[in-house]
Structure 1
Amino acid sequence: MGVGFSKKRKHESVNNASPDSSPPPKLTYKQPRTKHPLPPPQFPQLPKPIQNLHKGPILGKPYVDINTMYEIKRELGRGTFGITYLCVEKATGREYACKSIPREKMDNNPTEVMILQHLSGQHNIVELKAAYEDRKKVHLVMELCSGGELFHRIVAKGKYSEREAATIMRQILNVVHVCHFMGVMHRDIRPENFLFATNQQNAALKLADFGSSVFIHQGKVYKDIVGNEYFVAPEVLKRSYGKEIDVWNAGVILYTLLSGVTPFSADTDKGMVDATLRGKLDMDSEPWPSISDAAKDLVRKMLTYDPKERITASGALEYPWLKEAAEASDKSPESAVLIRMKQFKTMNNMKKLALKVIAESLSEEESKGLKHMFNNMDTDRSGAITFEELKSGLSTLGSPLSESEIRQLMDAADINKNGTIDYCEFITATMDRYKLEKEGNLFEAFQYFDKDNNGYVTRDELRQAITEYQMGNEAAIDEILEDVDPDIDGRISYQDFVTMMRSKC
């Protein structure tokens, strides 16, 4: 029966640059069915040119004709929510994948876009370059992965050796752990949604397609049916589940990698549901007698029927078999959280204060993932992150640093210099760059400095702002003006300010 999947397969949304010379195997997967609150944003009155732009209901940004910037090439794949195309950026000639989603399929809910933005910069997750909206569709321009799906490699290869399976599984579990730490439940972890960055045998895996994903609400019980019948966790079928379903999905992948077949299968939908609800694992048939007890033990822990007893992604990553069998890289990639904190450390004080103003105005919806990250760091629930908590949190994300490096990050994020990082300071230092694309956010931050509302920030206004937080002296002000004031006229225009805020440093 091959790899244990059924004989038909509906097309899924993929990001796959390799045209197949022959059709892929026909396999059917069921499509998915359908403590520190921030104040709501009080946006200032915007300039008339900004007010008059027609904005889309999904992204809240002006409409854009994507064809003016990208040449849309061949179709790469299609799924429940949209079609993915190969596209070429006209200005640079670089290739990307563009997922085009009809607006009505997003139900005026930009969750997939917000999640991709929130996770931006994280290794093993397909990177979102930009998001655009026109009057009919939302277009997500993403990193192009040319190595194809993990699904196709499993079909071609059959079962994997323990070392090969562990190497793949370590990447899968790492991305599940990071998603959970950053407050995201994927809800559709399966081989089709993992893409290889290149055609190389040891290419990095990238998780894609966050169309079923949600931000995690602490204590919420999820009830909607999601995922695929071969991978769905039993608690999803019972309509009462949480983030533990992602680990079950990953456990099904591990079982398949080691044995060449999926653990639960039947000829009918009802049979599949019944098999999953029984949750009985076959570890007696070939090739299981020749597979190590340690590998089988991890499979059992990941496919534990009771989600409360199931191993977590972080726990699985520490499991001895996975650590010993996986081909360890020389250096683990840095987490998105660490990358953002390092970038924040190098920013000038004006930009740091502007980011704080933006952080204070974020809506609850915009700060969901950030709040979850903060709570994961603030282990004693004191409302502030200590040095030891920051050290532990970064270590959990696979970012080992020296104490002096952590101290530097701590000092940069601790804007009020009280020795800890409060909630607002944390999201100031770790928010994704896409928050800076919103004109309203930038204009409100500019107004914080422009006290007389004349359209410019003067030296005196800059001094007043950074003195309030004891963030610099005259030399620091000179440095800011030198960096941000290209006209050398001693004042910073709104456009100068926007350019500074959207720069990487």
Structure 2
Amino acid sequence: MHHLTGHRNIVELRGAYEDRHSVNLIMELCEGGELFDRIIARGHYSERAAALLCREMVSVVHSCHSMGVFHRDLKPENFLFLNNKEDSPLKATDFGLSVFFKHGEQFKDLVGSAYYVAPEVLKRHYGAEADIWSAGIILYILLSGVPPFWADHPWIREDGEAPDKPLDITVISRMKQFRAMNKLKKVALKIVAENLSEEEITGLKEMFRSLDTDNSGTITLEELRSGLPKLGTKISESEITQLMEAADVDGNGTIDYSEFVSATMHMNRLEKEDHILKAFEYFDKDHSGYITVDELEEALKKYDMGDDKTIKDIIAEVDTDHDGRINYQEFVAMMRNNSPEIVPNRRRMF
């Protein structure tokens, strides 16, 4: 890393200290978190925003290769933001798998991370061009919010089924986000999930099947308990129970397919106004353009959620103009986690 010191988009190594047991590296402090987390929060980036980030990533690759450094593990988790600002510089980190190379040199060791590794790496005959492939995968995810490959092509499936497919780590992140949502939004997302096309939930069906080991059409707590650790990520028993309770919107003790999709789908699905409108109309029974307290109570009682405290908490959170009801803009703001002031005005339909 000393070899790459000075590049604007590479985390600086400030010092190294060795004791009897270990070598301690002092790195530049990056307070803005991982690119991975921002993708999870946003769903996906606009072309302009993705282009700016891609420019920084490609600059890193070019600088590394020109200095004879092959990163070999480019992925969103290994890019950090210097600060929490929207225009924060992006910093490449984690050079643990990096090697020095000469032009034309080929490598055989199998390294890298699933989704981002180039095909030639899997064939154990590859060069520094594999970094460019990984950067391309990151760009695809920035633009779409999903990886380009799900290992579901017939050529790489066994007997028509993908064997022991590990659950995408983003699913746990989304389920944790879902757990923190208010009950109105959870039910609304369930309505959205029930109206999504197969193309809009590509990959989630396979994930659901991998967890539903008895093919019952629902996921039990035991199936969730045995399925989530396949990520290789440590998750406590209490967290698993909390995720189960959060995703089980109707409270029947299992997670059905629509509940799973509502808890794990990309939030960029909410950019399609038709989806949000259908959810709003589910609550707005009299088509007045507002969700009243009575309508909210009636809808949530179907899921054993319509108690006075829940209704009061939802109104307090969502009803930003304090008129005692929820209008469409307030509903959209809640669904997209923005304030009503920045939600585009929708033509009046009521």
What TM-score does the superposition give when structure 2 sets the normalisation length?
Answer: 0.61
Per the alignment, residue 491 of structure 1 pairs with 325
Going from structure 1 to structure 2, the CA distance change for 1:373 and 1:340 (only over 3 Å counts) comes to same
Separation in structure 2 between the aligned mates of residue 347 and residue 401 of structure 1, nearest angstrom = 20
RMSD between aligned alpha carbons?
Answer: 4.3
- Within 5 Å, give how 1:33-432 maps onto structure 2: 120-121=39-40, 129-131=44-46, 140=50, 143-144=53-54, 145-146=56-57, 148-149=60-61, 152-153=64-65, 156-157=68-69, 164-165=96-97, 172-175=112-115, 190-195=130-135, 207-210=137-140, 214=148, 216=150, 218=152, 220-221=153-154, 241-242=155-156, 335-432=169-266
Query: Does structure 1 retain, via aligned residues, the 8 Å contact 2:281–2:287?
Result: yes
The letter of the residue matching 1:338 is I
The letter of the residue matching 1:194 is S
Going from structure 1 to structure 2, the CA distance change for 1:216 and 1:478 (only over 3 Å counts) comes to same
Structure 2, unaligned runs of 5 or more? 1-6, 10-31, 73-94, 100-108, 118-128, 142-146, 340-350
Structure 1, unaligned runs of 5 or more? 1-15, 19-93, 95-115, 133-137, 178-188, 196-205, 222-240, 245-310, 315-333
Separation in structure 2 between the aligned mates of residue 503 and residue 158 of structure 1, nearest angstrom = 39
1:356-401 CA-partner distances (Å, limit 9, x unpaired): 0000000111112221221222233221112122223321223322
Query: Does structure 2 retain, via aligned residues, the 8 Å contact 1:345–1:409?
Result: yes
Higher helix share: 2
The alpha carbon displacement at 1:140 in A equals 4.8
Q: Radius of gyration: which is bigger? A: 1
Q: Highest relative contact order (Cα 8 Å, sep 6+), 1 or 2?
A: 1
Q: What is the aligned length?
A: 256
Separation in structure 1 between the aligned mates of residue 97 and residue 312 of structure 2, nearest angstrom = 56
The alpha carbon displacement at 1:447 in A equals 0.3
Going from structure 1 to structure 2, the CA distance change for 1:376 and 1:416 (only over 3 Å counts) comes to same
Query: Does structure 1 retain, via aligned residues, the 8 Å contact 2:218–2:255?
Result: yes
Separation in structure 2 between the aligned mates of residue 313 and residue 378 of structure 1, nearest angstrom = 12
Separation in structure 1 between the aligned mates of residue 113 and residue 223 of structure 2, nearest angstrom = 23
The alpha carbon displacement at 1:337 in A equals 1.2
Query: Does structure 1 retain, via aligned residues, the 8 Å contact 2:43–2:266?
Result: no
The alpha carbon displacement at 1:402 in A equals 1.4
Separation in structure 1 between the aligned mates of residue 322 and residue 298 of structure 2, nearest angstrom = 20
The answer to whether the aligner puts 1:453 opposite 2:311 as a matched pair is no
Give the SS at the match of 1:443.
helix
Query: Does structure 2 retain, via aligned residues, the 8 Å contact 1:356–1:424?
Result: yes
The alpha carbon displacement at 1:348 in A equals 0.9
Give the SS at the match of 2:245.
helix
Going from structure 1 to structure 2, the CA distance change for 1:427 and 1:120 (only over 3 Å counts) comes to farther
The alpha carbon displacement at 1:458 in A equals 0.4
Give the SS at the match of 2:45.
strand
Query: Does structure 2 retain, via aligned residues, the 8 Å contact 1:385–1:422?
Result: yes
The letter of the residue matching 1:493 is N
Give the SS at the match of 1:336.
helix
The letter of the residue matching 1:481 is I
Separation in structure 2 between the aligned mates of residue 492 and residue 389 of structure 1, nearest angstrom = 38
The alpha carbon displacement at 1:421 in A equals 0.8
Going from structure 1 to structure 2, the CA distance change for 1:165 and 1:151 (only over 3 Å counts) comes to farther
Separation in structure 1 between the aligned mates of residue 97 and residue 46 of structure 2, nearest angstrom = 35
Once the two structures are aligned, what percentage of the paired residues are identical?
A: 40
The letter of the residue matching 1:407 is T
What TM-score does the superposition give when structure 1 sets the normalisation length?
Answer: 0.44
Going from structure 1 to structure 2, the CA distance change for 1:172 and 1:343 (only over 3 Å counts) comes to same
Separation in structure 2 between the aligned mates of residue 150 and residue 414 of structure 1, nearest angstrom = 47
